[in-house]
Amino acid sequence: MAGDAKDWADEDRPADLGRRRFLKTTLTMGAIGLVGTAVASAKSILPPPFEFKGTVDDKFRYGRPDNPSLWFAPLAGQPVKTSDFALWQGAACLWRQTFDDTGKAIPGSGYPAMVICVDASLVKAPPEFEPHIVRADVGGVPAAFIALYSRCVHFCCKPAWHVQRIPDTLHDYVAEPRTFLATDPATGAPDPQDPIWCLCHNSQYDPVTFVQNVHPPPANVTYIGAQYVHGPATRALPSIPARLTGTILEGLYDPDEGGHPEWYSAYCR
């Protein structure tokens, strides 16, 4: 996938829920002290929090990249379909967007995600995650569609797939990416693919190798994700379990269906 770092990367430190609660309490108490003064009312300084009201859609929908040359740019806002992809193609998406009564997407709703079409023969995952990997033929080749929460576990930048070639100086891997085993389906010749790359700090993840990890305290969330192969990340990039409705890809949020809502809701929001 071609593009530039601006399309994907915007750094934001992980959420600290304890600190957030402390700040909320502090601001509330400060607002009480302002009531009745000539400066302003607490209401004018602290407006009610914005609440999303509408219908949440579990479909993945293509994002709206700044770079119009990206292959999925003309599909922005449309549901992601397996029939749209070529092998090793990926797209930046939004998942679980909220739509109002007129069917219009509410700005700011949804989780950043990416969907990548990979060679199914290279996918390695825990048995419990296998049912959540969508498989379909792409150009006569068995493919798998991998959905990932697009927030780097290091400092919450948005990692990218094939924005540009990863330089050799960043090939000092803690585990060899299995994407390097890819071959050209027409000729069988080696066709190694770079792993997912977070351009902010050079963390890298293998989108065909899934492992179980635990996000450290205070979250302590167990999850399955794409194995990290290059630091500073030290954990996997969280997966989004997927299913197919016709040719449309949907993500699963419910933990009983393999989702990780505590991670999606609390981490990097």
pLDDT in tens, 207-261: 999 999 988 777 778 889 999 999 999 999 999 999 999 999 999 998 888 888 8
> Percent of the chain scored above 90 by pLDDT?
60
Q: Is residue 226 part of a domain?
A: yes
Q: Is residue 80 part of a domain?
A: yes
Least confident of 128-142, 172-186, 254-268: 254-268
Query: In this structure, how many other beta carbons lie within 10 angstroms of the beta carbon of residue 127?
Result: 6
Q: Is residue 131 part of a domain?
A: yes
Average pLDDT over residues 85-111: 93
Least confident of 176-180, 188-192, 255-259: 255-259
Q: Is residue 203 part of a domain?
A: yes
Of 265, 141, 257, the C-alpha closest to 215 is 265
Q: Is residue 19 part of a domain?
A: no
Q: Is residue 21 part of a domain?
A: no
**Domain that includes residue 174, residue range:** 5-11+52-266
pLDDT at 163 over 90: no
pLDDT value, residue 82:
96
Q: Is residue 29 part of a domain?
A: no
Q: Read off the pLDDT band of 120 (50, 70, 90).
A: very high
Which residue do the tokens 């493919």 mark? 143
Would you call 214 helix, strand, or coil by DSSP? strand
Residues 59-80 have pLDDT tens digits of 999 999 888 899 999 999 999 9
Tally of domains in the chain: 1
Q: Is residue 210 part of a domain?
A: yes
Average pLDDT of the chain, as a whole number: 82
pLDDT at 12 over 80: no
pLDDT at 1 over 70: no
pLDDT value, residue 79:
97
Answer whether 188's CB lies under 8 Å from 219's CB: no
pLDDT value, residue 18:
39
Instruction: Kindly report the three-state secondary structure assignment for every residue of 123-165.
Output: CECCHHHHHHCEEEEECCEEEEEEEEECCCCCCCCCCECCCCC
Domain with residue 92: its CATH number is 2.102.10.10
Report if pTM > 0.85.
no
